Structure 1
Amino acid sequence: MAEPVRNIDVCVVGAGAAGLMCGIEAGRRGRSVVVLDHARAPGEKIRISGGGRCNFTNLGVGPHAFLSSNPRFALSALRRYTQHDFVDRVNRAGIAWHEKTLGQLFCDGSAKQIVQMLVDDLRAAQGDLRLGAAVDTLERDGEGFRLVTSDGRTIACSSLVVATGGKSIPKMGATGWAYDVARRFDLPLVETRPALVPLTFEPGLLERLKPLAGVAVDVEARAGEGGRKGAFREAMLFTHRGLSGPAILQISSYWREGEAITLDMAPGVDVFGRLKSERADNGRQAVATALSRVVPKRLAETMSTAEGAPATLADAPDKTLRRLDEAVRRWTVKPVGSEGYRTAEVTLGGVDTAALDQKTMQARGQPGLYFIGEAVDVTGWLGGYNFQWAWSSGWAAGQVC
């Protein structure tokens, strides 16, 4: 015997940060809410984020930290539900937190506390969380929608909120379902690509840089062309595939195939002046030894060899020292690609903001259909910004759906 149709006000597909937030807010308005997810546990990206401590927001949230075809689209939601509003929610839940570098806020304990807070709030708002239930079919049903789930149940709702995220980290269950829904309802998409992701090199360059695998160095990294330019001063890590670390993840959102990136591996340091001074004080020391006072030893040795530096500083003319300065402070290199969605923290692009109302997140020309979170063409910097977009966009939709 077929299961009866369940009629509700709001069906949220996706039990991640944005979806749970939306379900909570809609439930608090007295709306009947079901939050669906094909995963067996809610908030999996929350759970693994920040090394298991969840970098849940950033004190520096602002439009400067978001990429989009329309950078101003996110302003309405971010201003109406701010990072401070979410911190207040965390405080009310009794979750201890601390600030790290660059305004990043982390739980003192486990990220599971954030997930539990959201699940508890959804339950308190009379929302129903259904896990292990994928959407098999979706269709318009009058002014609302009808969904059939993988467990054979049918849901009829007046509002459908798509909060399934992007393609990043497929092992966590990420899919392009949100984009499929957008296409079905004739909504435009901005081309998607992995973002906040390590960059890779071609085999020849990898072989030359093999001795540097595992070396970390603070850098100022630059990438992008035209109006798409990013510059970040954070840590970088040489890997067996290319480059990683916060600085590289940040600029990966601005980099495109065929472009070079520029790295200053001694930001703020006059490398030429430092080496010249060392030469005057102790010309008998090795060039690499002097350079290792500016950058890590293995990097100093690799750079010295690559630039053909003589054995000692005394034998190194000014032009050699200037070449080393250029190599360290303006290393320009062309990646061949990225590690892809497998390791990307987020997806760049998505549902075109031109098709959405910036205040409600409702699709234009499609009453009752909403897109929130990572599924939308709004991508934040590394450091809690994408979670804040999830909280803010989920909150905005939850006020009206």
Structure 2
Amino acid sequence: MNTLVTLTDEQSMIADAVADLTAEYDHDYWQTCCREGHFVDELWAELGELGFLGIAVPEKYGGEEMGIPALATLIETFAAHGVPLLAFLSTTTMAPLPIIEYGSDNLKNRFLPGIASGDLRFAFAITEPHSGTNASRIRTSATRDGDEYVVNGEKTYITDAAGADYIQLVTRTTPYEDVANENPYHGGTLLVVDTDADGIETSPLDVSIPEPSGQYTVHFDDVRVPVNNRIGREDAGFSHVFSALNPERVVTAALAVGLGRFVIEKGADYANDREIFDAPTGSYQGVQHPLAGAKVAVEQAALTLQTAAAAHEAGQRNAAAAANVAKYAASEAADKAMDAAVQALGGNAFSHDYPLAALRDWTRFLRIAPVNNEMVLNYVGENLLDLPRSY
């Protein structure tokens, strides 16, 4: 589909390779995995063989070390072919980045090669039933007992928890109540937890968003985790996690841009084929203009995404602001694109014989996760407009 974005040679190579992969692992394949409740195992294995799961992993640990712009291209291109995968966010982004920056040599050697090869899948767990955006108030505790931590608590909306080999878990080693008046984000500790450990129980969540990884609530009952599975310093886990939030915003924007491209293409194809009153419906401005306006919004978001990815890679001071703006612009544009495409297809948008039905909730979902757009506006208000804190 036509785009205003100019890709680097590296990004073009990734986009072409994904296009080749999706000739076999296409939207229908993705839908089948969703319906049958199993992971995209065959696709994941090929991605590992091609090195794409290790795009962000250093070469010394078996990765490609291409950086966040390349990872964003991978995720965007898959979504643009109707194959959105939340496992990309957990296994290729949130899992390796804190380990790369803060993990011990032991952790890097144990986990990064497996992430890069596709042999290991990670879930990331921070959200709890009573703490979402207010992450400092998590209650899951990790109590030191010699060379182990004993973990108790509950996490919810955890992608791929049942299929992952490990969970990267945000816990509290110091209760919130002890630090709330000084630094509420002190006392968090980041652990790598083996999902086969005793005391872990996963429960699937019945959500309307089809996704091969699934969403789960995870219960921890006296789960023992070796101290050498801690990432970085005890009580500094929140800062370690926050180091990965800007890349998470960027790759979420990439997912949204890709979905926006996919649904606009499906809407335009239908509007070219469907005839009403002896002319294609796309010839009528009531159908054409919403699709064209959505196309403008998605292209604007794509350009913002490229800026944000480049800013992060270069370590620029505006990287956080650019990542937040990109996430907001892309998720809003994707939802606008879905609305225009649904209107173009009319009743067929709700038929599972057409691809929009499986994706309608996806674009709305990206406006609230992994961070809701209201919090993004709070960030913009405070950091780009110098307005007082609003919450």
TM-score by length of 1: 0.25
Higher normalized strand content (fraction of residues): 1
Higher RCO (CA 8 Å, separation ≥ 6 residues): 1
